[in-house]
């Protein structure tokens, strides 16, 4: 076996604990005293570095982390900038699939043919403990004739003949259904009906055929899905149904080949080797380790200051001024579900500053599912980097990949139509990244990091109503009304105002209901 594959980082990739080493005895080698997963983040980092340095040749560091000002170079004459980050940075086309494997998520890998999309997905399958042959065999190739039976299995012909009712028909379920890593190649070539069956599998964790049900979760309960497509704009043999698209937790663009690594390619061709056949055994994760990783990731806390910026970011997108007549109905969803065009409703709003109104750059709002995914992947990123809590950098790093395809750009907005900004129309990751940066800038500009009256009022309510006097409640109602009056007095309305006003109305309802209870009318 060639030794060149078996180089795993020997030193810790991100140590975080101080102190001197504690001696152990040989007896300790035979105990599992150390809880499974005490150093799983280190193992995942080693897996990452093995993949980028040995397996897929990906010298791209597009997920950047810097604690100080990074050095930047202006290159070319079209505004391109090359940044040298000050902290360990990562390649999205490997890291996001790896985080999807860690959280049990669904990852869509997009890009032209021969860019390593399927290889990365197969590597995830091998990391989960299957052999490379098993993983390759269980890859489902999307093609226009793919039926539900091809995908899930067939009813046994003997039972079809003899059965008097559906429940008597046994199904020969396909083996891939219960693998911890499931790979669907070229999912945009699958017929619409089969896509719907796939959606049930992904969304509900089971498949149905002839009234029989089969759970697709592996024994550990952690399953991750990898889809590949060479188009993300509605192309392919069949358009992908929106509900299936929405289930993709992250969308990642596969990186192209860097010509400077041609020698390595020649070596591989000469040796006839495939990286997935050489995954070091020490990088394989057992099912208990996969469960433990997910538990640890979910336990990473998101501090208050990060939550506040995230909630401010989310607040921009649902509201549209001319979306409806009643205040609560002035949303993009109202327009879309009624068959209207959100871009036209945005265009009609002459009162707001389009440059400041981040919500005007999108034609939809964010789903709760997308927000949950963003929370989970931010935690995964922090855990992967070996930090104790989620930072704004972790959120900013995963946000473009989570929201790609979910937050749709309003291409008639000046943002996508002026000079160099046109580039953003075809580069959703950079646009989403800019959107988050601008939102954080506005958050600081509005002074919300140290003075957020609506948050303070919510915190008051969350402390409980028990024992509050009628006088105190009346004082709070006045405070709520003055908050509403303050926003109304500005004359302009943006997304974050919409959420604040809705919240203030909610507070008003809660307090007035309480007041009616403590102060019954005579």
Partner 1 sequence: MMRMPGHRANPLRQPRTEVSEIPAVEGLDLVLAAENVRRQGGDPTRFASALSAGFAEGVPSERTDVFALVSLAGWRAGALTLREDALVRAETIIEPAVRSAATRVLDIRSDLHSFLQKQSTDRYWWPDRAKYNGIVCAIGGFAGVGGSWIAPPTEALPLAEAGAFGIRTDDEWWRADLDVWGVRLVRLSAPPTEDPDAAGSVSIILEENSYLAVLHVEATP
| Chain positions contacting partner 1, by CB under 8 A | 1, 3, 6-32, 34, 38-39, 46, 49-50, 53, 61, 86-89, 280-282
Nearest-10 crossing angle of helices 392-403, 368-384: 130
- CB closer to partner 1 out of 258 and 367: 258
Structure tokens at 435: 């959107």
> How far is the C-alpha of 225 from the C-alpha of 104, rounded, in Å?
8
- CB closer to partner 1 out of 83 and 86: 86
> How far is the C-alpha of 444 from the C-alpha of 440, rounded, in Å?
6
Contact 270, 132 (CB under 8 A): no
- CB closer to partner 1 out of 29 and 418: 29
Contact 339, 325 (CB under 8 A): no
- CB closer to partner 1 out of 12 and 303: 12
Closest distance between partner 1 and the C-beta of residue 100, in Å? 22
Closest distance between partner 1 and the C-beta of residue 475, in Å? 46
> How far is the C-alpha of 22 from the C-alpha of 19, rounded, in Å?
9
Closest distance between partner 1 and the C-beta of residue 314, in Å? 33
Closest distance between partner 1 and the C-beta of residue 74, in Å? 23
Of 424, 393, 413, 250, give the one whose Cα is nearest residue 317.
413
Closest distance between partner 1 and the C-beta of residue 427, in Å? 24
> How far is the C-alpha of 497 from the C-alpha of 490, rounded, in Å?
10
Closest distance between partner 1 and the C-beta of residue 87, in Å? 6
- Phi, psi dihedral angles at 467 (to 5 degrees): 80, 5
> How far is the C-alpha of 305 from the C-alpha of 311, rounded, in Å?
10
Which residues lie closer than 8 Å to 432 by C-beta, 6 or more apart? 399, 400, 403, 404, 407
- CB closer to partner 1 out of 46 and 118: 46
CA angle (352, 439, 331) in 5-degree steps: 50
- CB closer to partner 1 out of 39 and 175: 39
- CB closer to partner 1 out of 6 and 497: 6
- CB closer to partner 1 out of 133 and 286: 286
Of 410, 469, 401, give the one whose Cα is nearest residue 432.
401
Question: What strands, in cross-sheet order, belong to the sheet with 140-141?
Answer: 140-141, 181-185, 224-229, 106-110, 250-253
Closest distance between partner 1 and the C-beta of residue 318, in Å? 40
- CB closer to partner 1 out of 21 and 445: 21
Closest distance between partner 1 and the C-beta of residue 383, in Å? 17
- CB closer to partner 1 out of 70 and 453: 70
- Judged by DSSP in three states, 294 sits in helix
> How far is the C-alpha of 374 from the C-alpha of 379, rounded, in Å?
9
Contact 98, 45 (CB under 8 A): no
CA gyration radius, the chain: 26
- CB closer to partner 1 out of 8 and 371: 8
- Judged by DSSP in three states, 392 sits in helix
Closest distance between partner 1 and the C-beta of residue 19, in Å? 7
Closest distance between partner 1 and the C-beta of residue 297, in Å? 20
Of 177, 193, 97, give the one whose Cα is nearest residue 144.
193
Closest distance between partner 1 and the C-beta of residue 197, in Å? 39
Closest distance between partner 1 and the C-beta of residue 27, in Å? 8
Buried b (16+ CB within 10 A) or exposed e, 101-115: bbbbbbbbbbbeeeb
Of 274, 249, 304, 229, give the one whose Cα is nearest residue 99.
249
Contact 381, 397 (CB under 8 A): yes
- CB closer to partner 1 out of 54 and 332: 54
């Amino acid at each position: 076996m060639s030794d060149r594959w078996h180089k795993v980082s020997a030193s810790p990739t991100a140590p975080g604990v101080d102190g001197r080493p504690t001696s152990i005895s040989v007896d300790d080698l035979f105990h599992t005293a150390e809880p499974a997963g005490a150093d799983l983040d280190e193992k995942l980092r080693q897996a990452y570095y093995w993949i980028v340095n040995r397996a897929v040749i990906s010298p791209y560091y597009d997920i950047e982390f810097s604690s100080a000002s990074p050095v930047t170079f202006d290159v070319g004459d079209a505004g391109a900038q090359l940044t040298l980050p000050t902290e360990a940075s990562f390649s999205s086309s490997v890291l996001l699939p790896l985080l999807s494997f860690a959280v049990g998520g669904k990852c869509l890998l997009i890009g032209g043919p021969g860019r390593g999309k399927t290889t990365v997905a197969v590597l995830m399958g091998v990391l989960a403990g299957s052999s490379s042959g098993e993983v390759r065999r269980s890859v489902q190739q999307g093609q226009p004739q793919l039926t539900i039976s091809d995908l899930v299995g067939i009813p046994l012909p003997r039972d079809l003949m003899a059965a008097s009712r559906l429940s008597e028909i046994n199904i020969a379920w396909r083996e891939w259904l219960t693998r911890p890593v499931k790979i669907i190649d070229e999912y945009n070539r699958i017929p619409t009906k089969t896509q719907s069956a796939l959606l049930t599998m992904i969304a509900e964790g089971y498949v149905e055929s002839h009234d029989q049900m089969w759970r697709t979760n592996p024994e550990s309960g952690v399953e991750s899905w990898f889809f590949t497509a060479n188009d993300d704009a509605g192309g392919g043999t069949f358009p992908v149904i929106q509900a299936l698209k929405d289930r993709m937790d992250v969308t990642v663009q596969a990186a192209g080949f860097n010509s400077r690594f041609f020698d390595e390619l020649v070596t591989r061709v000469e040796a006839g080797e495939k990286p997935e056949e050489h995954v070091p055994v020490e990088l394989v994760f057992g099912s208990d380790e996969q469960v433990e990783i997910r538990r640890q990731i979910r336990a990473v806390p998101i501090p208050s200051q990060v939550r506040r910026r995230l909630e401010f970011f989310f607040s921009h997108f649902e509201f549209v001024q001319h979306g409806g007549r009643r205040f609560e109905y002035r949303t993009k969803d109202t327009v879309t579900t009624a068959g209207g065009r959100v871009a036209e409703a945005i265009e009609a709003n002459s009162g707001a500053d389009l440059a400041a109104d981040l919500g005007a750059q999108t034609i939809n709002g964010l789903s709760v599912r997308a927000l949950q995914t963003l929370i989970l992947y931010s935690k995964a990123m922090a855990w992967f980097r070996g930090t104790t809590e989620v930072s704004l950098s972790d959120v900013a790093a995963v946000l473009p990949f989570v929201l790609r395809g979910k937050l749709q750009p309003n291409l008639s907005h000046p943002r996508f139509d002026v000079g160099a900004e046109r580039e953003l129309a075809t580069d959703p990751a950079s646009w989403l990244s800019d959107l988050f940066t601008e939102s954080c800038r506005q958050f600081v500009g509005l002074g919300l990091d140290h003075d957020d009256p609506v948050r303070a009022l919510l915190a008051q309510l969350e402390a409980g109503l028990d024992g509050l006097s009628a006088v105190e409640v009346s004082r709070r109602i006045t405070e709520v009304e003055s908050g509403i009056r303050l926003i109304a007095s500005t004359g302009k309305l943006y997304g974050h105002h919409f959420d604040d006003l809705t919240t203030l109305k909610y507070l008003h309802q809660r307090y007035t209901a309480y007041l009616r209870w403590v102060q019954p009318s005579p």
